[in-house]
A = this chain, B = another copy of it.
Amino acid sequence: MRIGILTGGGDCPGLNAVIRAIVRKSVQSGDEVVGFRDGWRGVLEGDTVPMDLAAVRGILPRGGTVLGTSRTNPYALQGGGDRVLATLERLGVDALIPIGGEDTLGVATKLAEAGVRVVGVPKTIDNDLDATDYTFGFDTALGVATEAIDRLHTTGDSHHRTLVVEVMGRHAGWIALHAGMAGGATVVLIPEQPFDVDAVVEHCQRRFDSGYSPIVVVSEGAKPKDGDWVLTTGEKDAFGHVRLGGIGTALASLIEERTGRESRAVVLGHIQRGGTPSPFDRVLATRFGLAAHDAVHAGETGVMVALRGTDIVRVALTEATAQLKLVPVERYAEVEVFFG
């Protein structure tokens, strides 16, 4: 059997573990694996690399993806879908395992409808895919964010200043929620719960009153409750680019003003998605890869592998991408116990 694989969208620690698992299992079962470079771009252009044992040696502990990635969406291009089908036909690809997020799996869904045998592997560092308990990469990002918070506690306390840590999470606040709980944050702000500025300031003040300094953990997509406080837009940097400071920087200014104490923002950015995957992510990614190969051999199509409890299951691709997994109010209530 000839299996095509590709990685699309933002990179995520664990992608290489998925790739390696598919290749190792394929070698065992006598299948051949074709890697497409840079996501759907490689499929569109027939840009491939043979994935044998040598190609996956030593990649398990490495971040990123040896296949490269891109945000290319074939269905956004004139005749893109047909070109994809043509490439698969020409290369004799019997089944395709795309590893990616909403966008990549959306393309996968359409290909499945077009008759291609497709088994998806979910990837989102934000952990916001509804059909699976966890996605790989999330635990690694959580580790980076928590280590940063651990580090900031002592510097904050020494200077009696507030530290605001901005973490990833455009629509879902999972990283902020877990890192805030694991790091002992004074306040955690997430997109799902528009925040009250007064309450944030009050929690910080209460923390100062107790003799310690506040750490505020905020998702990049968090927003204030009341419409009266907004991030202005349109400022430009030295090159004329709009480089607006995000919510973290804005909050730090606000808290400084309102508490009368120094405040600093730290924007973790890309270090959250790079580097060696945590053991949890390596195991999850490896199991996803093995399970995707199994699903292909079982003749499945239009499905995605997913984690449920400790089991890897198969769910319909359509169901998988139907809605975002947001932080429910009772989970937020858990972390609120520790505010202030």
Please list the residues of chain A having a beta carbon within 8 angstroms of any beta carbon in chain B: 7, 10-11, 15, 21, 24-25, 28, 38, 53, 57, 60-65, 68-70, 133-134, 139, 142-148, 150-160, 163, 178-179, 181-184, 210, 212, 230-232, 235-239, 241, 243-245, 249-250, 253-254, 257, 264-267, 269-271, 273-276, 278-280, 282-283, 286-287, 290, 308-310, 334, 337-338
Contact = CB atoms under 8 A, between A and B. Distances in A.
B254 A155 contact: no
Given A235-B235, A249-B243, A253-B243, A151 B275 contact: yes
B275 A69 contact: no
A38 B133 CA distance: 36
7 contacts: A64-B155, A151-B275, A151-B276, A155-B274, A179-B279, A237-B250, A267-B267
Nearest to A71: B159
A37 to B, nearest CB: 10
Contacts of A230: 238
Contacts of A157: 64, 68
Contacts of A212: 57
Nearest to A63: B154
A156 B178 CA distance: 26
Contact of A153 (B266, B274, B287): B274
Which of A134, A160, A239 has its CB near the most chain B CB atoms (within 10 A)? A239
Nearest to A231: B238
Contacts of A70: 159
A158 B230 CA distance: 35
A181 B245 contact: no
Which of A53, A68, A266 has its CB near the most chain B CB atoms (within 10 A)? A266
B232 A235 contact: no
A194 to B, nearest CB: 16
Given A11-B158, A65-B158, A159-B69, A181 B283 contact: yes
A64 B154 contact: yes
Nearest to A277: B182
Contact of A144 (B62, B151, B210, B243): B151
A62 B276 CA distance: 13
A164 to B, nearest CB: 10
B279 A178 contact: yes
Given A182-B282, A264-B269, A154 B337 contact: no
A239 B253 contact: yes
A282 B282 CA distance: 19
A99 B146 CA distance: 25
B253 A283 contact: no
